[in-house]
Amino acid sequence: MSAAWLAMPEVVLAAASTTSPTASGSLKDAGAKCGIKVGLQSGRQTLQIPEFAQIVTDNFNMLTPGNELKWPRLRPGPDTFDFADPDWMVNFCEANGILVHGHNLCWNSPMSSPSWFKNTLDKSNASHYLTEHITTVMRHYQGRIDSWDVVNEPTVFWSKRSDGLYPGIWLDLLGPTYIDTAFHAAAAADPKALLVLNVYDVEHGTPDHETTRKTTIALLKQLLARGVPIQAVGMESHLDASLPPGGVGLSAFIEQVRDMGLQMLITEMDINDTHTEGDFQTRDEIVAKTYRDYLTQVVPISGAKRVIFWTPTDKWDWLNSTNIPHGERADKTPHRPGLFDDTMGPKLAFGAVRSALGEICASETRR
């Protein structure tokens, strides 16, 4: 790929070379056999690396901008928007036949609060700012972004509230109906986009995850009773290889969501191996099995047609970030959460995911 391509995202990448290690069996081709879009998370900077961009176009047909659509990047000030980076990414995706999943429009985490929130937002204007933001951003990309995480991580098991809602600025200023405000604004701004409530810590067979499953189901019932236009639930699926799988508790949760008439997505899947013992080969085998087992359990019963991976390569491992409280491994070796290694070569996890998608599609075809 030429330097001109890096400056011109509208130029479509050349077809994958026959020498590509994944060209003869890509993830997107495996999913396409039963209508599953296979996505990844990336930022603009990594997409501008030709080798990685080729992996993306070879294997994925959906992409989530990692930070470019969050408030801190889009809103440098209370009266300004900066669309330069997400515009580049959306152009890249459109040029290469890749759908975009928008992440996210509203999140109570301090990581999603621009510095100007502290001295600007209050109870009298918070609804205006939230509605204005969602309306402006979604109309800017109307018809170009396939689905949106409208509200991210609404419930957490560590909440001290009886309803389990994630404490933070929107909840503090607007109360629980901040979710209503966000979804109504989203539905009005782009009626054709899929509107998603994105949840996490519901995937494992632990008491904490069972707590989040229960509070999420209770919240969904309340929101739907109030006429909030939620269309889908995204399960982040940041899995921990050292924790027990979700089992019957997870299956029951998925069935309850589907019984409400909601679609389901897998939105941020990767595997945390912080507490998994063994050398690289052993850990890679465990991570690969975790990917396969989860997908073959969850996708058939959820009917998920969008499966998005958060850490495509070990080269850029968010688990090693000092801002993420997962901690380093006791043996000080790098995490191994990705589908590709730090040299961009496909790992056992890549093969496990491709195999799982093949098995899921074959089973669906037989039904």
Helix axes 207-225, 247-259, angle to 10 degrees: 0
Tell me whether strands 232-235 and 194-199 are parallel, antiparallel or unpaired.
Answer: parallel
- Mapped onto helix, strand or coil, the DSSP state of residue 176 is coil
What was the pLDDT predicted at 17? 32
| pLDDT tens over the chain, length 367 residues | 333 233 333 333 433 332 344 545 999 999 999 999 999 999 999 999 999 999 999 999 999 999 999 999 999 999 999 999 999 999 999 999 999 999 999 999 999 999 999 999 999 999 999 999 999 999 999 999 999 999 999 999 999 999 999 999 999 999 999 999 999 999 999 999 999 999 999 999 999 999 999 999 999 999 999 999 999 999 999 999 999 999 999 999 999 999 999 999 999 999 999 899 999 999 999 999 999 999 999 999 999 999 999 999 999 877 766 455 556 788 888 888 999 999 999 999 999 999 999 999 999 877 6
- CA dist., res. 101 & res. 318, Å (int): 19
What was the pLDDT predicted at 13? 41
Looking at residue 297, the DSSP 8-state letter turns out to be: H
Structure tokens at 105: 């429009």
What was the pLDDT predicted at 227? 98
Beta strand extents in the chain (DSSP E only)? 37-42, 62-65, 99-103, 147-152, 194-199, 232-235, 238-240, 263-272, 306-309
φ and ψ at residue 332, rounded to 5 degrees: 65, 10
> Which residues, 6 or more positions from 341, have their beta carbon under 8 angstroms from its beta carbon?
313, 314, 315, 347
Structure tokens at 273: 């191996």
Query: Where does residue 7 rank: exposed (0-12), middle (13-18), buried (19+ CB within 10 A)?
Result: exposed
From residue 335, alpha-carbon distances to 108, 170, 283, 313, 321 in Å are 28, 34, 9, 11, 11
- CA dist., res. 267 & res. 260, Å (int): 20
Contact of 158 with 107, CB cutoff 8 Å: no
From residue 60, alpha-carbon distances to 64, 170, 277, 287 in Å are 11, 34, 31, 20
Contact of 131 with 181, CB cutoff 8 Å: yes
Entry pTM: 0.92
Per the omega criterion (within 30 degrees of 0), is the bond before 152 cis? no
DSSP calls for 299-348: HHHHT--EEEES-SBTTS-GGG-TTSTT---TT-PPP--SSB-TTS-B-H
| Alpha helices, DSSP H, located in 18-149 | 27-32, 44-47, 50-59, 71-74, 84-95, 117-120, 126-140
Contact of 295 with 357, CB cutoff 8 Å: yes
From residue 82, alpha-carbon distances to 71, 72, 119, 310, 325 in Å are 10, 10, 20, 24, 29
Residue whose C-alpha is closest to residue 65's, from 50, 47, 80, 38: 47
SS3 content of the chain, % helix, strand, coil (to 5): 45, 15, 40
What was the pLDDT predicted at 320? 67
What was the pLDDT predicted at 321? 60
- CA dist., res. 207 & res. 174, Å (int): 30
Looking at residue 289, the DSSP 8-state letter turns out to be: H
What was the pLDDT predicted at 316? 87
φ and ψ at residue 57, rounded to 5 degrees: -70, -25
Contact of 70 with 117, CB cutoff 8 Å: no
